[in-house]
C-alpha cells in the first residue's frame, strides 16, 4: 500500500492573515487547502487520509441507518447475487408479492399420514 502523507502547516496569506494549510497528494493529484483554524485543517487532513486508505483497500465509508447485523446480511445477499441478471430489490419485490405463509404447519410424517388416510378412504 502506497503511503499517502498529508501535512498541516501554518501559512501566511498575501493579506498577512494566518491560516492553516493541508498539503499532500491524493490519487496523484496535489491537494492544498487553507483553513482558518488548525482544528478545521486537522479534520480535513483526517478525511483525506481516510479517502486514501479506502481507495487503497477497496473499502469505502458510508453513513447508514442499518445495524451491524443488517449490514452483514446485506453484504452477504449482494455476494450471493453476483452474476444474476436482476437486482436484489426485484427479487424482494417478487417474494413480497407472491409468498404466503402456510395455513398450518405439517411435519413430513403428519403430511404423509394425512395423504395416505385420504387415499384409502376414496
Read off the pLDDT of residues 5-43 as tens digits, 9 standing for 90 and up: 899 999 898 999 999 999 998 888 899 999 999 999 999
Rounded distance between C-alpha atoms, residue 96 and residue 21, angstroms: 54
Q: What would the grid cell of residue 45 be?
A: 487532513
Rounded distance between C-alpha atoms, residue 52 and residue 46, angstroms: 10
39: left (phi over 0), alpha (psi -120 to 50) or beta: alpha
Residues 6+ apart with CB under 8 A from 49: 4, 6
Rounded distance between C-alpha atoms, residue 27 and residue 31, angstroms: 10
pLDDT digits (tens, 9 = 90+) for 82-118: 999 999 999 999 999 999 998 888 888 888 888 888 7
Amino acid at each position: 500500500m502506497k503511503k499517502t502523507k498529508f501535512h498541516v502547516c501554518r501559512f501566511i496569506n498575501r493579506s498577512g492573515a494566518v491560516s492553516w494549510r493541508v498539503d499532500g497528494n491524493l490519487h496523484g493529484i496535489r491537494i492544498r487547502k487553507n483553513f482558518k483554524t488548525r482544528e478545521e485543517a486537522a479534520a480535513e487532513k483526517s478525511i483525506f487520509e481516510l479517502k486514501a486508505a479506502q481507495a487503497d483497500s477497496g473499502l469505502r465509508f458510508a453513513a447508514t441507518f442499518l445495524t451491524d447485523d443488517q449490514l452483514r446480511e446485506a453484504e452477504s445477499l449482494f455476494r450471493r447475487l453476483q452474476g444474476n441478471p436482476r437486482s436484489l430489490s426485484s427479487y424482494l419485490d417478487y417474494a413480497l408479492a407472491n409468498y404466503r405463509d402456510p395455513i398450518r404447519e405439517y411435519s413430513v410424517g403428519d403430511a404423509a399420514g394425512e395423504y395416505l388416510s385420504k387415499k384409502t378412504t376414496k
